[in-house]
Chain A
Amino acid sequence: MHVPDGFFDAPTSIATGLIAAGAVGFSLQRANREIRETGPALAGLTAAFVFAVQMVNFPVGAGTSGHLLGGALAAALVGPWTAVLVMSTVLLVQGLLFADGGLTALGTNITLMGLVTVVVGYFITRALLKLLPKRVGSVVPAATVGALVSVPTAALAFTGLYAIGGAVDIPLAKLATAMVGWHILVGIGEAVITAAVLSAVVATRPDLVYAARHLQPDLVLVDADGNSSSVAPDRPIAARPAGRSLGVGIAATFVIAGVVSLFASAHPDGLEFVGAKLGFEGAAKSSAVADSPLANYGVSGIGNSQVSGALAGIIGVLVTIALGLLVAKLASLRSARARS
């Protein structure tokens, strides 16, 4: 999803650049204490990990593959502020050392992949942790849902940016449906990897999971004479209380969805309307696109689908959340049974 130079117009690039700079600055301030305690090495290693894992492709379908973005995962593991820094660092290194993602599009890329995924992922994780059983293991289903939702949400944000600063006019409902539909699939991969990573961490080093620090049990200490005592674990940084996180998380998701739908609703009948009006119908019906290898998914698939109109984005997000809640429920049931 790395946006290259020139994909969005200059004002959009500059605006997202400012958003990204602001977010990084704010995160630096908020993460300052954590980074002083745990050291910049930890954030750097987390960034190296995210970078390495982004190179691992998993199959999505139709012979194509996706890769982990890692925003929601990083947020659960090292906290939202450090995660924004980690993701920004990854994107900066990809842009400067590997020429991946344009330099003028860096702000856009940080906003989409560093900010949206982290914020959405973390809010959903914290919100679900309030609903799930109060133990460290609950972070696995919670963050899995966070990861699942974060990817299509970022895709939706991409569509929103395209509506504002895209170089070419294309029907936005179509773009939104295509992007979200496609990225729900990528999101499933993201969710599976996130779940696996968190399960591994919870199994071996539960104290590392930032989002679940407040759920850690007390420690039992046995001294030289065999007397045992119970002490609170060494918690350098207390995770901030979730507060209104459920509301905020859902609101954030819908704001993003809404922004897109605002633009999208300008074309109430979706493709047909636009097509009839602008002579697109011929193209959609001609098999030029439908026969292409991309016809089974993505942009052209939408041309034939019945899903149209302004609600496409929101429906996509709702479906994702519903799916996610189901997964969370199943996962917590399973782990509860494994425990008993």
Chain B
Amino acid sequence: MSGPSIHVERLVFAYPDGRQALFGVDFSIERGERVALLGPNGAGKTTLVLHLNGILGSVAGGTGSGRIQVGGSDLHREHLPEVRRKVGLVFQDPDDQLFMPTVRDDVAFGPANLGLRGPELDERVHEALVQVGMQDHADVAPHHLSYGQRRRVAVATVLAMRPEVLVLDEPSSNLDPASRRELADILSGLDVTLLMITHDLPYALQLCERSLLMDAGRIVADGATRDLLGDADLMAAHRLELPYGFDPLSVPGPEK
């Protein structure tokens, strides 16, 4: 396969309750890139990423238009199972993502839907849990885990499907500083294309070399994370603010 990992053209979408969320979105992400998706609340970021594996949008029978390509091929209803394996989505609230009675059942859900059974499935589950350091909690019920642990298991549920593109919705939200750093360590060690919605601008700078800035259902800026964060006028125009004392020009960016 060739072409960019994700390519989006003139994407428009309205929710069934009449609220329009996307007003023509264009962007492209190359294989192996790590991209942060920034923007104020209500900009349409979550709506956008739900299009990337065909959950929202015309391919899912919704109201909208535009073009989405994953791995160089157009999104079609027939390809949905394949696309959903390739594009792994980690939801913001881990309670939305962890819906099975135990951690093990939950991590196994995706691979089982891909047809894995028996020892092969067990191995895949174990591998994913090891990647996030949660292998000792396989038989625990999700509501008995801490929030940070739940977030890590949520990442594991997607990793168990061996995705090519990992899409995360605010991965650092509600985490304590240690959990936040542990998750960054896990994410920076993964060999996948990464798209990450975040309000945590230092996190974006730490993990992603490139950023997209979204506002009112459109992409309004696209460039190196450091340049975007350093553009005070752009930031102010779209309700983005750096934490007190944080200077994007004085800290190291992603290791790569």
Which of the four size classes fits the interface of chain A? 10 to 19
A242: min CB distance to chain B, Å: 22
One of A166-174, A217-225, A311-319 contacting the partner: A217-225
Chain B residues whose C-beta falls within 8 Å of the C-beta of A231 in the assembled complex: 14, 63
Q: Whole-angstrom distance between the alpha carbons of A205 and B17 in the complex?
A: 6
Chain B residues whose C-beta falls within 8 Å of the C-beta of A235 in the assembled complex: 16
Contact, CB under 8 Å: A221 / B17: no
Contact, CB under 8 Å: B10 / A219: no
Q: Does B24 contact A (CB under 8 A)?
A: yes
Contacting B17 at CB < 8 Å: which of A41, A207, A220, A236?
Answer: A207
Q: Does A291 contact B (CB under 8 A)?
A: no
Which of the four size classes fits the interface of chain B? 10 to 19
Contacting A222 at CB < 8 Å: which of B17, B23, B61?
Answer: B23
Q: Whole-angstrom distance between the alpha carbons of A225 and B24 in the complex?
A: 8
Chain A residues whose C-beta falls within 8 Å of the C-beta of B14 in the assembled complex: 219-221, 231
B218: min CB distance to chain A, Å: 8
Chain B residues whose C-beta falls within 8 Å of the C-beta of A222 in the assembled complex: 12, 20, 23
A212: min CB distance to chain B, Å: 12
Contact, CB under 8 Å: A224 / B63: no
Q: Does A233 contact B (CB under 8 A)?
A: yes
Contact, CB under 8 Å: B24 / A236: no
Contact, CB under 8 Å: A233 / B63: yes
Contacting A221 at CB < 8 Å: which of B10, B20, B61, B99?
Answer: B20
Evaluate whether A234 and B62 lie within 8 angstroms (CB atoms) in the complex, with A219-B18, A222-B23, A223-B24 already known.
yes
With contacts defined as CB atoms under 8 Å apart, how many contacts are there between chain A and chain B in the complex?
A: 43
Q: Does B65 contact A (CB under 8 A)?
A: yes
Evaluate whether A41 and B99 lie within 8 angstroms (CB atoms) in the complex, with A222-B23, A231-B63, A236-B61 already known.
yes
Q: Identify the interface centre among B10, B18, B23: most chain A CB within 10 Å of its CB.
A: B18
Evaluate whether A224 and B23 lie within 8 angstroms (CB atoms) in the complex, with A219-B14, A234-B16 already known.
yes
Q: Whole-angstrom distance between the alpha carbons of A233 and B99 in the complex?
A: 29
Q: Does A165 contact B (CB under 8 A)?
A: no
Contact, CB under 8 Å: A233 / B18: yes
B91: min CB distance to chain A, Å: 13
A39: min CB distance to chain B, Å: 10
Q: Does A206 contact B (CB under 8 A)?
A: yes
B238: min CB distance to chain A, Å: 19
Chain A residues whose C-beta falls within 8 Å of the C-beta of B64 in the assembled complex: 221
| Bitwise interface map of A from 231 to 249 toward B, beta carbon under 8 Å scored 1, else 0 | 1011110000000000000
CB-CB contacts below 8 Å: B56-76 with A:
61-65
Q: Whole-angstrom distance between the alpha carbons of A235 and B14 in the complex?
A: 13
Q: Identify the interface centre among B10, B17, B65: most chain A CB within 10 Å of its CB.
A: B17
Chain A residues whose C-beta falls within 8 Å of the C-beta of B63 in the assembled complex: 219, 221, 231, 233-234
Contacting B61 at CB < 8 Å: which of A207, A224, A225, A234?
Answer: A234
B105: min CB distance to chain A, Å: 14
Contact, CB under 8 Å: B18 / A224: no
B97: min CB distance to chain A, Å: 11
Q: Whole-angstrom distance between the alpha carbons of A234 and B15 in the complex?
A: 8
Contact, CB under 8 Å: A224 / B16: no
Q: Whole-angstrom distance between the alpha carbons of A225 and B12 in the complex?
A: 11
Q: Closest residue of chain B to A205, judged by CB?
A: B17
Chain A residues whose C-beta falls within 8 Å of the C-beta of B20 in the assembled complex: 220-222
Q: Whole-angstrom distance between the alpha carbons of A207 and B15 in the complex?
A: 9
12 contacts between A and B (CB under 8 A): A205-B17, A206-B17, A221-B14, A221-B64, A222-B23, A223-B10, A223-B24, A223-B65, A224-B23, A224-B24, A233-B18, A236-B61
Interface residues of B (CB under 8 A from A): 10, 12, 14-18, 20, 23-24, 61-65, 99
Q: Can you list the 4 inter-chain pairs with the closest CB atoms, starting with the nearest?
A: A224-B24, A207-B16, A207-B17, A234-B16
Known pairs A205-B17, A233-B63 / 15 extra A-B pairs, C-beta < 8 Å: A207-B16, A217-B18, A219-B16, A219-B18, A221-B12, A221-B20, A221-B63, A223-B23, A223-B24, A223-B65, A225-B24, A234-B16, A234-B61, A234-B62, A234-B63
